[in-house]
């Protein structure tokens, strides 16, 4: 099933903690909800877009955080929660759902939600947006910006000259840790027209192995199976078994299947979409517009152990 949003998790979490006496570890709450919603191992392993935290457990944490801000939960000690009298009162009314609309009735939650201590009644659009945790909203926004940037980057690359494209590829290869120095990689890449190869670069700075390259700055024409076959043939002619085929367009299904099925050599295919993503990752043709630090409580700092 689909992983429940954090508001859907509020009422089950409140009920589970209420069914226990005293404080309950947050991890126990998460595991209980995972069983209640019959989540699979694959769903529990699903990560936020950044890959830094499991999506389900992140949503449970935010469900608990919102109810704690509304004083439905208390945190008697680190990593644990307990239900408050207010939480019990909410449950006694048998609500069909506990969500942000319900929590807004409590002044403490209003203060949490707004610096002006005035929370407008959520409309449908706001309610839909609230189905995601703050972490997810930030990361979704980041992905939108990144996708737009990648598209703009590819447009710029397509409008550049072939020689600029070659320099860009050299820059990227060096940034990724291949090609030795930029001068070495640049010289090697200038060996164009060598039996269907555009360049020969070092796999490492010592030059213990070589990687052969092919770069096609094509707009709409796809790279097809015969193009990859020709490249593989050129590799064989040089006694090589490693190659990188880069294009600003895309590879057909046949081209990818051929590359994936090779036994005696390895050819990595990089299409325009992946090229733009790599340029962003390695800082090629992009500049930082703004930096936002998302900080969390350092629990170790507040852990009061015995003084030495």
Do 26 and 80 meet the contact criterion of CB atoms below 8 Å apart? yes
Q: What is the pLDDT of residue 153?
A: 87
Longest C-alpha distance within the chain, in Å?
79
**pLDDT at residue 215 in the model:** 87
Strand pairing partners for 80?
25
Angle CA 145–143–220, to nearest 5: 75
pLDDT of the residue at 120 = 42
| Superfamily of segment(s) 153-281 | RNA polymerase, Rpb5, N-terminal domain (3.40.1340.10)
Give the domain ranges of the chain.
10-116, 153-281
CATH architecture of 10-116: Orthogonal Bundle (1.10)
pTM beyond cutoff 0.85: no
pLDDT in tens, the chain (308 residues): 689 999 999 999 999 999 998 999 999 999 999 999 999 999 999 988 777 778 999 899 889 988 988 999 998 887 899 999 999 999 999 999 999 999 999 998 887 776 434 434 444 444 444 577 888 888 877 887 788 788 888 888 888 888 788 888 888 888 888 766 666 665 556 554 555 567 777 776 666 677 888 888 887 789 999 999 999 988 888 888 888 999 999 999 999 999 999 887 899 999 998 999 999 999 999 988 777 777 877 777 776 655 44
Number of Cβ within a 10 Å radius of residue 159: 9
Pair 107, 86: CB distance under 8 Å: no
> Kind of pairing, strands 80-83 and 73-74?
antiparallel
The values of phi and psi at residue 166, to 5°, are -65, -40
Domains 10-116 and 153-281 in one fold? no
Task: Give the per-residue pLDDT at 151.
Answer: 83
CA gap 259, 253 in Å, rounded: 10
Q: Give the rounded distance of the alpha carbon of 28 from its chain centre.
A: 27
Residue with tokens 């929590």: 103
Cα–Cα distance measured from residue 211 to residue 223, given in angstroms and rounded to the nearest whole number: 20
Q: What contacts 103, CB < 8 A, 6 or more positions away?
A: 66, 67, 69, 70, 72, 109
């Amino acid at each position: 099933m689909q992983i429940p949003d954090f508001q859907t998790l509020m009422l089950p979490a409140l009920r589970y903690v209420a069914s226990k006496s005293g404080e309950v570890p947050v991890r126990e709450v998460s595991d209980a909800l995972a069983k209640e919603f019959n989540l699979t191992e694959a769903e529990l392993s699903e990560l936020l877009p950044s890959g830094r935290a499991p999506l389900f457990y992140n949503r449970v944490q935010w469900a608990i955080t919102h109810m704690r801000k509304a004083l439905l939960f208390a945190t008697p000690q680190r990593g644990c929660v307990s239900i408050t009298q207010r939480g019990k009162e909410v449950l006694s009314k048998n609500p069909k759902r506990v969500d942000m609309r319900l929590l807004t009735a409590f002044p403490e939650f209003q203060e949490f939600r707004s610096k002006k201590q005035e929370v407008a009644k959520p409309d449908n659009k706001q309610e839909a947006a609230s189905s995601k945790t703050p972490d997810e909203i930030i990361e979704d926004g980041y992905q939108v910006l990144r996708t737009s940037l990648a598209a703009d980057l590819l447009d710029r690359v397509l409008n550049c000259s072939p020689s600029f494209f070659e320099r860009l590829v050299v820059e990227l290869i060096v940034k990724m840790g291949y090609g030795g120095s930029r001068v070495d990689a640049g010289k090697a890449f200038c060996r164009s027209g060598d039996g269907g190869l555009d360049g020969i670069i070092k796999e490492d700075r010592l030059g213990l192995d070589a990687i052969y390259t092919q770069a096609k700055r094509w707009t709409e024409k796809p790279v097809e199976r015969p193009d990859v076959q020709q490249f593989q043939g050129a590799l064989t002619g040089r006694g090589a078994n490693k190659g990188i085929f880069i294009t600003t367009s895309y590879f057909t299904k046949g081209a990818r299947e051929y590359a994936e099925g090779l036994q005696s050599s390895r050819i990595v295919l990089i299409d325009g979409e992946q090229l733009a993503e790599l340029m962003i990752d390695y800082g090629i043709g992009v500049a930082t517009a703004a930096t936002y630090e998302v900080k969390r409580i350092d629990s170790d700092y507040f852990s009061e152990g015995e003084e030495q």
